[in-house]
Chain A
Amino acid sequence: MKFTRRDTILIAAGATATAMLPMRAFAAGEDEIAAFTGGASIGDSGVTLTAPEIAENGNTVPIEVNAPGAVSIMVLALGNPNPGVCTFNFGPLAGAQSGSTRIRLSKTQTVTAIAKMADGSFAQASSEVKVTIGGCGG
């Protein structure tokens, strides 16, 4: 088949559009982050996420988040079937903008915490947690 220049450009445009699709579909947590930040830029300091490097068991993983001066902190598990984990919203009588809990991780993945600060800015911290299979699978 002989391609005209027109054909080549259309095919290239189609290929580019197709190439872009998987990237949008696989960006885990993107929707949740966009809803939380409204598209604002996210800084990388101001929030800490404490999680084990290797989870003793993926079903019960202890984590802690801390963001002095934050209004709320959203936690996502980017490798889970659904990324949402929890969102801490701090009220006027919160003694500190921190919280600890226990979460489920379905496999080795990045856990991320995004803090919304009182001045409307955002900060993010991430942690890679390894989730392993037990010795004999049990």
Chain B
Amino acid sequence: MTKTVLKGAIAAVVVLAGAQAALAGDGGLVINGELEMITEAPAADHLKGSLTTVYSGWVFRDVDTQAMQMDDFDNPGMLYVDQGEGMWNAPAGTSEKSCADCHGDASESMAGVRTVYPKWNEAAGEVRTLQMQINACRTENQGADAFKYGKDEINAMEAFISMQSRGMPMNVAIDGPAAATWEQGKEMYYARTGQLELSCANCHEDNYDNYIRADHLSQGQTNGFPVYRLKDTKLTSAAGRFVGCVRDTRAETYKIDSAEFVALELYVASRGNGLSVEGVSIRN
């Protein structure tokens, strides 16, 4: 299936974006007039035969939504980054230590972290998402209660850590000890399930840039997560989105912290290798 439609769509976006958002420059995502994001990249080797180019979800949103993400002040997701920063510096649990007490300045210690998650954790013998690792640190090192998945606190924490890698290209490992989990995620991605017999690929690989009802389908990349959704006016994590997406295709969805979604998150992240971490993105 050729994707010549997309070039036209991007060109149209460029024309409109130029008119309304002077920071658009060559039509790509430039934040605060200076931070250039990679929103289009050659697809990773493992996508040979499936995709030649990968696009950030930003590309598929309308001009106003795109503009909202181009200025940190206009981006309501930044409220959560501030919340995460506050949590980073706040003592927690029986340790009475804050993240900063061990990790110091996040802009140094957390730089690049978002780009390699989900990843294999040797000591734990499992692939972990960034949120799982945050909770592991909280319970094991801080002696505090784990954050509940799907709630604002853990999403705000992930948002703050994600910001420290903003602009850097995603680069999750799919080989070595993570390979089995990656294969499991890949299998899920292409499996048709549920009442509508839809797989992730049916929309996000076969029909990205087309419309489903009034929705402009993206490639379903996760480089922009956690996402401030205009619909919810709060943050959603990748796993949180999977819960909703699978449910909306009328299949039995999995729990937000299920092993299935950890595998899927690793696989989906690898499809976006090369695209910039966007900190906190804005989507519909």
Chain A residues proximal to chain B, CB less than 8 Å: 52, 54, 56-57, 59-60, 62, 130, 132-138
Q: Which of B62, B68, B233, B248 contacts A137 (CB 8 A)?
A: B248
B231 touches A57 (CB 8 A): yes
Q: Which of A52, A59, A130, A135 contacts B215 (CB 8 A)?
A: A135
Question: Can you list 26 A-B contacts with CB-CB less than 8 angstroms, sorted by A residue number?
Answer: A52-B62, A54-B214, A56-B61, A56-B62, A56-B64, A56-B65, A57-B231, A59-B233, A60-B230, A60-B231, A130-B214, A132-B214, A132-B215, A133-B213, A134-B215, A135-B203, A135-B211, A135-B213, A135-B214, A135-B215, A135-B217, A135-B248, A136-B245, A136-B249, A138-B247, A138-B248
Q: Which residue of B lies closest to A53 (CB)?
A: B62
Chain B residues proximal to chain A, CB less than 8 Å: 61-62, 64-65, 68, 203, 211-215, 217, 229-233, 244-245, 247-249, 284
Are A56 and B213 CB-contacts (below 8 A) given A136-B245, A138-B245, A138-B248?
no
Besides A137-B248, A138-B244, A138-B245, 9 other A-B contacts (C-beta < 8 A): A54-B214, A59-B232, A59-B233, A60-B230, A132-B215, A134-B215, A135-B213, A136-B212, A138-B248
B248 touches A136 (CB 8 A): yes
Q: Which residue of B lies closest to A137 (CB)?
A: B248
A52 touches B230 (CB 8 A): no
Are A54 and B213 CB-contacts (below 8 A) given A138-B244, A138-B247?
no
- A88 to B85 alpha-carbon distance, docked (Å): 34
Looking at the assembled complex, report how far the CB atom of B200 sits from the nearest CB atom of chain A, in whole angstroms.
12
Q: A60 to chain B: which residues have CB within 8 Å?
A: 230-231, 233
A57 touches B215 (CB 8 A): no
Q: B203 to chain A: which residues have CB within 8 Å?
A: 135
- A52 to B34 alpha-carbon distance, docked (Å): 27
Q: A62 to chain B: which residues have CB within 8 Å?
A: 64, 68
Q: B244 to chain A: which residues have CB within 8 Å?
A: 138
Looking at the assembled complex, report how far the CB atom of B272 sits from the nearest CB atom of chain A, in whole angstroms.
20
